[in-house]
């Protein structure tokens, strides 16, 4: 009797396993794909030229969102990006490093021109109207918000600090978290540059 029950349970378990194996791949296909990062944008570069995402096709884009008045996080991230580019040597020419402001009110063409030059000669700065910036930030799932300046005058910007690597067609490849070392970033980038 006990043996029969065990045999029956064993058979049921086997059926469930077979059913699960058959059904799981279908469920996986039904699950929604993760929302894509990236998309079209229209902005103005640090030379004053109107550009769109299409102008950057053909080379992977390494993108950081921030603002020129940022006291510490942005300078650290951009310095890391610049150091990673230098470590890559000639390979770095195969990608375009971009800085996109989340503070269009203060980050004029002149401001970002000076700002990007302070980090790397190949760094492209992008600004735009508040609407254009809102659109690109939304496409890249970047959070930003004005915050009162604890030090006194003006304001600071709370913003997500992540560096995106997009492929030559503008599709998401990978990202680097704040605090990634230049060595790790150069290594991560090299995998996508041949």
DSSP 98-161: EEEES-TTT--HHHHHHHHHTT-TTPEEEE--HHHHHHHHHHTT--EEEEE-TTSSSEEEEE--
**CA-CA distance, 40 to 160, in Å (whole number)?**
20
192: left (phi over 0), alpha (psi -120 to 50) or beta: alpha
Among 38, 60, 66, 97, binds Ni ion (CB under 5 A): 66
The region of 11-19, 41-49, 60-68, 110-118 touching Ni ion under the rule CB under 5 A is 60-68
125 part of the interface to Ni ion, by CB under 5 A: no
102 part of the interface to Ni ion, by CB under 5 A: no
163 part of the interface to Ni ion, by CB under 5 A: no
Give the burial string for 25-56 (b: 16+ CB within 10 Å, else e): eeeeeeeeeeeebbeebbbbbbeeeebebeeb
CB of 154 to Ni ion, least distance (A): 14
The region of 1-9, 31-39, 54-62, 70-78 touching Ni ion under the rule CB under 5 A is 70-78
Question: Binding string, 10-49, against Ni ion, x = CB under 5 A?
Answer: ----------------------------------------
Tokens of 55: 């102008």
In which residue are the tokens 């659109």 written? 135
79 part of the interface to Ni ion, by CB under 5 A: no
| 58 CB-near residues (< 8 Å, 6+ apart) | 168
Whose Cβ is closer to Ni ion: residue 25's or residue 71's? 71
Whose Cβ is closer to Ni ion: residue 84's or residue 88's? 84
> Which DSSP letter does residue 95 get?
S
74 part of the interface to Ni ion, by CB under 5 A: yes
The region of 10-18, 68-76, 84-92, 136-144 touching Ni ion under the rule CB under 5 A is 68-76
CB of 174 to Ni ion, least distance (A): 21
73 part of the interface to Ni ion, by CB under 5 A: yes
Q: If we measure between CA atoms, which residue out of 101, 89, 177 comes closest to residue 136?
A: 101
Residues forming the site for Ni ion (CB under 5 A): 66, 70, 73-74
């Amino acid at each position: 009797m006990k043996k029969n029950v065990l045999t029956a349970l064993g058979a049921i378990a086997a059926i469930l396993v077979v059913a699960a194996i058959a059904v799981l791949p279908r469920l996986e296909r039904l699950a929604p794909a993760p929302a894509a990062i990236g998309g079209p944008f229209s902005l103005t570069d640090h030379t004053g030229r109107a550009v769109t995402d299409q102008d950057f096709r053909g080379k992977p884009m390494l993108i950081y969102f921030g603002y020129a008045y940022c006291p510490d996080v942005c300078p650290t991230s951009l310095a890391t990006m610049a150091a990673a580019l230098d470590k890559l040597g000639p390979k770095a020419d195969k990608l375009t490093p971009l800085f996109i402001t989340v503070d269009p009110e203060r980050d004029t063409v002149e401001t970002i021109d000076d700002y990007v030059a302070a980090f790397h000669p190949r760094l492209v700065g992008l600004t735009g109207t508040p609407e254009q910036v809102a659109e690109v930030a939304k496409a890249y799932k970047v959070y930003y918000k004005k915050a009162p300046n604890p030090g006194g005058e003006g304001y600071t910007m709370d913003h997500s600090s992540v560096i995106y690597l997009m492929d030559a067609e503008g599709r998401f490849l990978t990202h680097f978290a704040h605090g990634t070392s230049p060595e790790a970033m150069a290594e991560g980038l090299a995998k996508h540059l041949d």
